[in-house]
Amino acid sequence: MIAIGKLAKATGVKVPTIRYYEQIGLLPPPERTAGNQRLYTPKAQERLAFIRHARDLGFPLEAIRELLSLSDHPGQPCTAADQIARRQLAAVEARIARLGALRDELQRMLAHCACGIIADCRVIEVLGNHALCAHDHGAGGQGHPA
Digit-coded pLDDT (tens) for 30-78: 999 889 899 999 999 999 999 999 999 999 999 999 999 999 999 999 9
Q: Give the whole-angstrom CA distance, residue 66 versus residue 72.
A: 10
> What H or E segment, with its residue span, contains residue 71?
helix 61-71
Distance CA 124, CA 132 (A): 11
In Å, the largest CA–CA distance within the chain is 70
Whole-structure pTM over 0.85, yes or no? no
